[in-house]
């Protein structure tokens, strides 16, 4: 806890770190009085603050960023309003002169245990708040695209890391787990943007933090999903690029994930089995390998009924809709096109309308299946539908898949179609950066 001080003539406030102005870190002060003393949510405080100023309510993100970056307004009137709303002693926000401070290490009084207990309570509230934020970020990702929250990952992981430097053991594991999951959120967003360099960087950090947790307190679920999302990042990069020669470097991540899944909860085991089957469907050559893929896909189905949204702490969204969608993609890779279309029908029926990205995926996979069946007009129609949905959720990954579909159509007997040419021109105009050279 070095760098923390109790403030006031009797050390009655804190502990807070020292800001650049020689007063307590104002962001820490505001958070302490908002969370621990008043138990006011960031959203509620933003509304009260806006009302007091006669302005629009400040957003929850604005409040959290103000606290974590020490960006409390310098204007005296605004600081006084914050102090009034939260009953903060004005001297803690630099609104009076001559504030004494005492290093935390020098405090050895009967009140110290109580104060440390309050600091521990603050740590728990901060962790809970970041957990709630992460839940909202993942909801934004699944229901729309969530890209606006990507910048928040850096702020969140930095503050959580700072918190861990003086957190007690009971909160340290919780904080490290949260950091891993924040990085995993960033992985998902970057994958959709096809920013694979960024996605891989976050995936490696997620694995590192998951390993820290696993050493202290075994967490096979966290290890499974961290390695799995790293593997799927490379997998998606590979299948939307010009070749598939690098799949051998991706498979080990998925294999490690599956090994951890054997000791994970049934839901995670099923999810890992399903995704393992998908990746290996692209590499299966022998009948034995194909049989292994089908067995893993079937194993995934056994556990899909275990899904409960309220228990989804790793944000899998592993529902029957996702199962059939993923199984269909694996079947397409195995050239089982008719069976794949059947699974896509089931996927569409089981997918809530609140998950638009998945419908865009379903239409893209239908297009790929119809190309396999050489029913090119149907393939084109579903590609056009998928493009509309992909643009709405800003999924560059799925748009890259559609570009591959268009190229396959251009090289088919249907390539002379003016509709194919029109879709190709549209994509080159809007997403020319996603076109990669064909490999002969």
Task: Assess whether 145 and 93 both reside in one domain.
Answer: no
Compute how many other C-beta atoms are within 10 angstroms of the C-beta atom of residue 44.
Answer: 16
| Predicted confidence (pLDDT) at residue 1 exceeds the cutoff of 50 | no
Least confident of 6-10, 164-168, 312-316, 333-337: 6-10
Task: Assess whether 74 and 154 both reside in one domain.
Answer: no
Task: Assess whether 9 and 88 both reside in one domain.
Answer: yes
Among 172, 202, 217, the domain-final residue is 217
Q: Using one digit for the tens of pLDDT, what is the confidence trace for 222-269?
A: 999 999 999 999 999 999 885 444 788 899 999 999 999 999 999 999
Rounded to whole angstroms, how far apart are CA atoms 192 and 396?
A: 6
Query: How many distinct structural domains can be found in the chain?
Result: 2
User: Distance from CA of residue 402 to its chain's centroid?
Assistant: 24
Task: Assess whether 75 and 127 both reside in one domain.
Answer: no
Does residue 256 belong to any structural domain of this protein?
no
Q: Would you call 16 helix, strand, or coil by DSSP? A: strand
Does residue 63 belong to any structural domain of this protein?
yes
Tell me the whole-structure pTM to 2 decimals.
0.76
Task: Assess whether 125 and 213 both reside in one domain.
Answer: yes
Among 217, 233, 255, the domain-final residue is 217
Among 58, 85, 108, the domain-final residue is 108
Task: Assess whether 169 and 129 both reside in one domain.
Answer: yes
Task: Assess whether 84 and 123 both reside in one domain.
Answer: no
Instruction: Please state, for a pLDDT cut of 90, what percent of the chain lies above it.
Output: 55
Domain that holds residue 132: 114-217
Q: Using one digit for the tens of pLDDT, what is the confidence trace for 348-401?
A: 999 999 999 999 999 999 999 999 999 999 999 999 999 999 999 999 999 999
| Predicted confidence (pLDDT) at residue 276 exceeds the cutoff of 70 | yes
Does residue 330 belong to any structural domain of this protein?
no
Task: Assess whether 96 and 138 both reside in one domain.
Answer: no
CB 376 within 8 A of CB 370: yes
The whole-number average pLDDT for the span 80-100 is 76
Task: Assess whether 123 and 95 both reside in one domain.
Answer: no
Q: Would you call 74 helix, strand, or coil by DSSP? A: coil
Q: Using one digit for the tens of pLDDT, what is the confidence trace for 52-77?
A: 888 899 988 888 888 888 888 888 88
| Predicted confidence (pLDDT) at residue 46 exceeds the cutoff of 50 | yes
Does residue 428 belong to any structural domain of this protein?
no
Q: Which of 82, 99, 76, 75 is nearest to 19 (CA)?
A: 99
Task: Assess whether 140 and 210 both reside in one domain.
Answer: yes
CB 82 within 8 A of CB 72: yes
User: What are residue 85's phi and psi, to 5 degrees?
Assistant: -60, -40
Does residue 325 belong to any structural domain of this protein?
no
The whole-number average pLDDT for the span 181-190 is 95
Does residue 152 belong to any structural domain of this protein?
yes
Does residue 51 belong to any structural domain of this protein?
yes
Task: Assess whether 95 and 139 both reside in one domain.
Answer: no
Task: Assess whether 127 and 101 both reside in one domain.
Answer: no
Compute how many other C-beta atoms are within 10 angstroms of the C-beta atom of residue 244.
Answer: 13
pLDDT category of residue 39 using cuts at 50, 70 and 90? confident
Q: Which of 189, 183, 134 is nearest to 157 (CA)?
A: 183
Does residue 165 belong to any structural domain of this protein?
yes
């Amino acid at each position: 806890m070095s760098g923390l001080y109790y403030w006031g003539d009797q050390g009655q406030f804190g502990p807070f770190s020292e800001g650049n102005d020689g007063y307590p870190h104002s962001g820490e002060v505001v958070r302490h009085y908002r969370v621990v003393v008043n138990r006011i949510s960031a959203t509620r405080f933003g509304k009260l603050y806006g009302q007091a100023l006669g302005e629009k309510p400040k957003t929850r993100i604005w409040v959290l960023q103000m606290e974590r970056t020490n960006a409390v307004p310098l204007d005296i009137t605004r600081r006084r309003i914050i102090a009034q709303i939260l009953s903060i002693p004005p001297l803690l926000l630099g609104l009076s002169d001559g504030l004494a401070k005492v290093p935390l290490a020098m405090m050895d009084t009967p009140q110290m245990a109580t104060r440390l207990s309050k600091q521990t309570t603050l740590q728990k509230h901060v962790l809970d708040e970041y957990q709630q934020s992460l839940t909202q970020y993942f909801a934004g990702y699944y229901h729309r695209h969530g890209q606006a929250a990507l910048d928040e990952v850096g702020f969140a992981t930095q503050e959580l890391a700072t918190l861990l430097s003086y957190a007690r053991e009971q909160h340290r594991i919780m904080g490290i787990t949260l950091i891993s999951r924040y990085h995993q959120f960033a992985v998902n967003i970057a994958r959709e943007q096809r920013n694979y360099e960024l996605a891989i960087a976050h995936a490696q950090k997620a694995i590192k933090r998951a390993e820290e947790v696993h050493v202290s307190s075994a967490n096979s679920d966290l290890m499974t999903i961290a390695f799995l999302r790293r593997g799927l990042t490379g997998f998606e990069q590979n299948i939307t690029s010009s070749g598939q020669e690098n799949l051998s470097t991706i498979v080990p991540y998925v294999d490690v994930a599956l090994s951890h899944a054997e000791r994970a909860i049934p839901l995670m085991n099923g999810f890992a089995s399903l995704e393992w089957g998908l990746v290996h469907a692209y590499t299966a050559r022998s009948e034995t390998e194909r049989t292994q893929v089908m067995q893993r896909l079937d194993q995934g189905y056994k556990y899909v009924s275990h899904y409960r949204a309220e228990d989804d702490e790793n944000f899998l969204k592993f529902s029957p809709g996702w199962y059939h969608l993923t199984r269909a993609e694996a079947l397409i890779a195995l050239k089982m096109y008719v069976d794949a279309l059947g699974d896509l029908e089931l996927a569409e029926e089981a997918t809530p309308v609140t998950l638009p990205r998945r419908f865009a995926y379903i239409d893209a996979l239908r297009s790929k299946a119809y190309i396999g069946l050489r029913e090119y007009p149907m393939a084109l129609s579903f590609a056009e539908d998928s493009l509309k949905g992909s643009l709405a959720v800003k999924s560059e990954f799925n748009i890259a898949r559609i570009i591959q579909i268009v190229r396959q159509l251009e090289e088919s007997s249907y390539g002379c179609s003016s509709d194919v040419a029109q879709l190709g021109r549209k994509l080159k105009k809007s997403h020319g950066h996603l076109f990669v050279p064909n490999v002969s």
